[in-house]
Amino acid sequence: MGATAPQPAVGATAPRPAALAEPTTPVTAGWTASLSLASLAVFMGFFTPIQILLPLQLEALDPGRKAELLAWVTAAGAGVALLVNPLAGALSDRTTSRWGRRRPWILGGALLGAAGLLLTATRHGLPGITAGWCLAQTGLNAMLAGVTAPVADQVPVRQRALVSGWTGISQSLGLVVGAVLVTVLAGGVLPGYALTAALTVLLALPFLLGHPEPVLPPGALARPHRRTLLTGYWVSPRRYPDFGWAWATRFLINLGNALGTLYLLFYLTDAVHLAAPDQGVLVLTAVYTVAALLTAIPAGIVSDRTGRRRAPVVLSCLVMAAAAVLLALCHTWAATVLAAAVLGAGFGIYLAVDQALVTQVLPAAADRAKDLGVINIANSGPQVLAPAVAAPVVAHLGGYTGLYLATALVTLLAGALVHRIRGVA
């Protein structure tokens, strides 16, 4: 398990506030469903623009430089995410609102993220699109800090992989729902952004309105100083080695995922030569999501019952690497659909079990959201690094074959690092 959390500054004999206690009461199906909807809202806001809307918008802006422009915009947004998520988490940890610590950040982040999506939709040049996307990333990452922490705050360890499976599925569903909206229902870039922005707020409301959370009493924790907020971005891997290895594992898995998905639309166009690549993305994300649905919940149940976290994560890395090899070697539509199914199956296992593993290596109960924000840098960081890696690989090191072989190698390395985590079975 992770290191024992320090007692909050409420006096040596004062009881620990409920907001900082280790959860023991099982959460209900309704609680899990509402949090999953809020997670769906976040990931729709993240992935629908990256997968569909931004590529179409930038292709219309400059067809010859579409890949380069997409790399610049997504890297700028990911850079914002690197800064905002841990900061919002740290402030959330010390929020003493009567509505709780997390819900104000979920609502505020959803509203700001929706505003950023609408701003992005109405811009017609690279600076404006980039600014809008960075604003959206600011709000969505504040929202993500609030959505991620309740699993560690309120879910007992024996339930965490199952709950993480349901909330993790929302990450895949965000791809499918967003793709359906913009390719079937919305009928264009501007309506697609508008509908995504609206649902980012609406889907969060059931959790915000229906499920109170423990309130942190004023004075229970010291107010963070500016220096504390800055140093909070660093969690010493020497002092907390399990946290460090979990971070590195997640970074590499997400780097592999970013390498594999960044140019998906262009891969279908240029390598598979699909006549309707945007429709192809919709089909692939549907296949991927169904496969993830079929593995995430069973993997979560098995992991919770056995208490084992590391072995399922290793298995997920092997499965995802196999999918990347298939994409590297077979540039056909049939092989791409099969690879999407295999990748989804592996990622479903990963989503359920890795999040549960991470919550068990957090250094301190008082800093759950902040430390999860540091973990989430391992989600956002690869979005910054992936364009810098992918572009030269595609241009000079084997094209899409080289890109997907690199994806497989990075994912296998992540699986090897899981064994370095000692405090979790």
* Residue 332: predicted pLDDT: 96
Task: State yes or no: pLDDT of 316 exceeds 60.
Answer: yes
Q: How far apart are CA 88 and CA 93, in angstroms?
A: 9
Q: Count how many residues are written for the chain.
A: 425
Nearest to 312 by CA among 300, 325, 321, 323: 300
Task: State yes or no: pLDDT of 407 exceeds 90.
Answer: yes
- Determine the 3-state secondary structure of 233 from DSSP: coil
Task: State yes or no: pLDDT of 77 exceeds 70.
Answer: yes
Local confidence band at 15 (pLDDT 50, 70, 90 cut-offs): low
The arithmetic mean of pLDDT across residues 106-113, rounded, is 98
Give the dihedral of Cα atoms 300, 301, 306, 310; nearest 10 deg: -10
The arithmetic mean of pLDDT across residues 406-419, rounded, is 95
The arithmetic mean of pLDDT across residues 294-314, rounded, is 95
Local confidence band at 8 (pLDDT 50, 70, 90 cut-offs): very low
* Residue 181: predicted pLDDT: 76
Q: Which domains does the chain have, with CATH numbers?
A: 27-418 (1.20.1250.20)
Tokens linked to 272: 């598979």
The arithmetic mean of pLDDT across residues 183-189, rounded, is 79
* Residue 16: predicted pLDDT: 75
Top-confidence residue, 168 or 159: 159
DSSP letters of 199-232? HHHHTTHHHHHH---PPPPTTSSPPPPHHHHHHT
* Residue 228: predicted pLDDT: 65
Q: Which amino acid is at 274?
A: L
Task: Say if residue 407 is exposed, middle or buried (CB neighbours under 10 Å; 0-12, 13-18, 19+).
Answer: buried
Task: State yes or no: pLDDT of 5 exceeds 60.
Answer: no
- State what percent of residues in the chain have pLDDT above 70: 94
Contact predicate 240/60, CB 8 Å: no
In this predicted model, what pLDDT tens digit does every residue of 367-389 receive, in sequence order?
Answer: 999 999 999 888 777 877 887 88
Local confidence band at 39 (pLDDT 50, 70, 90 cut-offs): very high
Local confidence band at 226 (pLDDT 50, 70, 90 cut-offs): low
Highest mean pLDDT (candidates 46-55, 178-187, 353-362)? 353-362
Q: What is the 3-state secondary structure (H, E, C) of 176-203?
A: HHHHHHHHHHCCCHHHHHHHHHHHHHHC
What does pLDDT average to over the chain? 89
Local confidence band at 99 (pLDDT 50, 70, 90 cut-offs): very high
CA atoms within 13 A on the CB side of 140: 33
